[in-house]
Amino acid sequence: MSIQGEKLQKVLARAGVGSRREMEKYIDANRVSVNGKVAKLGDRVEETDLIRVDGHTVKIEEKADRICRVIMYNKPEGELSTRKDPEGRRTVFDRLPRIDGERWIAVGRLDINTAGLMLFTNDGEMANRLMHPSYEVEREYSARVFGEVTNETIKNLTRGVELEDGPAKFLNIKPLGGEGINRWYNVTLNEGRNREVRRLWQSQDVEVSRLIRIRYGKLELDKRLPQGGWAELDLETVNYLRKTVKLGRETQTKLSVMPEKRKDKRAKINQIRKAVKKHNQRVKQTKRK
């Protein structure tokens, strides 16, 4: 399948440089060139073209050459969702495994004070679609809130309120209990605007003191996965995500296709816990220096 005539940002996304939306920003910022000329939005490229991003040559592959991979990550509070931080703070990318000739693309972000489920893939087109509001992929969060939550509050948040970037609402709010005016709720919405869950509650004079993403689409955070741990998803789960955003099936995987025994699953989780502990110790030693 030739890439002839495909839009530049789509080709870059498929090459794993970033999501299509990110690539559009790169092109706007004059960070991309094609055959030595600064690229512009709307440019189309052929497989013989020389494409560079920030001066580095991008290896263009046919769609069929790449195995679509996805990993689930249990983000702790205190980590940034950016690739690098000028202040040297921890980022979610610090813990992820290396991927030869490619890089992981975050499917959406969580702010520094939000924990829980994050997905990463090497397929920029899939990442773009999973984040795009037109596909209405549900996100579910557990939120501990501080303030008075009345029936009227719930009605307002599910009917919709006006935020500074447009109307927003929760699809569903499920009370989970708590003490005093600190109470837990599971909330669901089908878009991922910046700090949207927090801003929705704030519109009703209620503050979120803890926030954890527990579900993306039908994919729930694995409770056995420790904070700071990651696990690659099997082919069936990858294809569920691809089907959700109307992409064709993947037929290959880097994982074993043999059914896992219970003892093997326990061993894998223990291995993840050890890796997380080792990483945390290394970070502490670096800080002491």
For 110, the token pair is 């969580």
Beta partners for residue 175, in sequence order? 185
Q: Catalytic residue among 28, 54, 111, 165, which? A: 111
User: Rounded distance, CA 102 to CA 109, Å?
Assistant: 20
User: Rounded distance, CA 108 to CA 149, Å?
Assistant: 29
The question of whether 100 is a catalytic residue gets the answer: no
User: Rounded distance, CA 54 to CA 47, Å?
Assistant: 19
Structural contact between residues 241 and 219, judged by C-beta atoms closer than 8 angstroms: yes
Pairing type for strands 207-216 and 114-121 reads parallel
Number of other residues whose CB lies within 10 A of the CB of residue 127: 28
The residues assigned a catalytic role are 111
